[in-house]
């Protein structure tokens, strides 16, 4: 499902990082651990198609994304990859529902508000569908961010430090949700973190 080979990235012309090869099947889960500065965000951006690899290949669902043109990559990313960022950002002028409709639209999918509602229900946040994203608590924002990563039924879900700002209780809840939803969509889940609380929950780990 996702496979990388010989990925390398050079920062500012000299600081070179080589990444271990990754190979995950559909529905597999993995933790990507590393201290800050270890290049884990870079790897996440490479996996998500947010930047192009300088060296090496990434293939997702059979497509070599390092070979895609930039607008083809934009569309591919929208359709196949769901990303949850450390700090959730939304289109602030839009409500929760509108943000999710926009996400469907941008990926080139038809918009479907009843599907969005059912995702929000599963994430226990359906009552906030018409709220402005600015009026959500941090935990609620993180749930909406998860919903956004799910609306296009991605093949791969990437989560960048999804729990770093959360307490133990919320951390467990968010990780539970991520696991459940990834399973529900049969998506590959990669969580990038330095949060050691997650270590025991994921047998498959790569440390950078």
Residues interacting with other proteins, by CB under 8 A?
41, 45, 48, 50-51, 70-71, 74-75, 77-79, 83, 85, 87, 89-94, 98, 101-103, 105-108, 111, 148, 152
Cβ 186 to other proteins, closest distance in Å? Answer: 21
Is 145 or 173 the residue whose CB approaches other proteins more closely? 145
Is 111 or 199 the residue whose CB approaches other proteins more closely? 111
Alpha-carbon dihedral sign for residues 52, 53, 56, 57: negative
Cβ 155 to other proteins, closest distance in Å? Answer: 14
Residue 76 structure tokens: 């591919």
Is 99 or 163 the residue whose CB approaches other proteins more closely? 99
Cβ 122 to other proteins, closest distance in Å? Answer: 20
In whole angstroms, give the CA distance from residue 125 to residue 140.
Answer: 7
Alpha-carbon 123 to chain mean position:
16
Cβ 159 to other proteins, closest distance in Å? Answer: 13
Pick from 19, 15, 79, 16: which is nearest to 45 by CA?
A: 19
Is 61 or 94 the residue whose CB approaches other proteins more closely? 94
In whole angstroms, give the CA distance from residue 17 to residue 206.
Answer: 15
Long-range interactions of 2-5: CB distance < 8 A, separation 24+: 2/47, 2/58, 2/59, 2/60, 2/61, 2/155, 2/156, 2/188, 2/190, 3/58, 3/59, 4/46, 4/47, 4/56, 4/57, 4/58, 4/59, 5/56, 5/57
Cβ 203 to other proteins, closest distance in Å? Answer: 29
Is 49 or 198 the residue whose CB approaches other proteins more closely? 49
């Amino acid at each position: 499902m996702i496979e990388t080979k010989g990925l390398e990235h050079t920062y500012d012309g000299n600081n070179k990082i080589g990444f271990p090869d990754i190979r995950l099947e559909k529905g597999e889960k993995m933790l990507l651990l590393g201290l800050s500065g270890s290049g884990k965000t870079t790897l996440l951006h490479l996996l998500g198609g947010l930047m192009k690899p300088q060296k090496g290949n990434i293939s997702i669902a059979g497509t070599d994304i390092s070979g895609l043109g930039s607008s083809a990559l934009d569309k591919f990313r929208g359709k196949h990859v769901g990303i949850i960022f450390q700090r959730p950002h939304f289109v602030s002028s839009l409500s929760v529902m509108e943000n999710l409709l926009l996400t469907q639209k941008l990926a080139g999918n038809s918009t479907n508000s009843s599907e969005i509602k059912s995702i929000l229900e599963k994430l226990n946040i359906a009552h906030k569908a018409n709220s402005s994203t600015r009026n959500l608590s941090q935990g609620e924002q993180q749930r909406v961010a998860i919903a956004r990563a799910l609306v296009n039924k991605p093949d791969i879900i990437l989560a960048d430090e999804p729990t770093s700002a959360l307490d133990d209780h919320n951390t467990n809840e968010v990780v539970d949700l991520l696991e459940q939803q990834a399973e529900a969509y049969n998506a590959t889940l990669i969580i990038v973190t330095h949060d050691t609380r997650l270590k025991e929950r994921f047998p498959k780990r790569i440390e950078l």
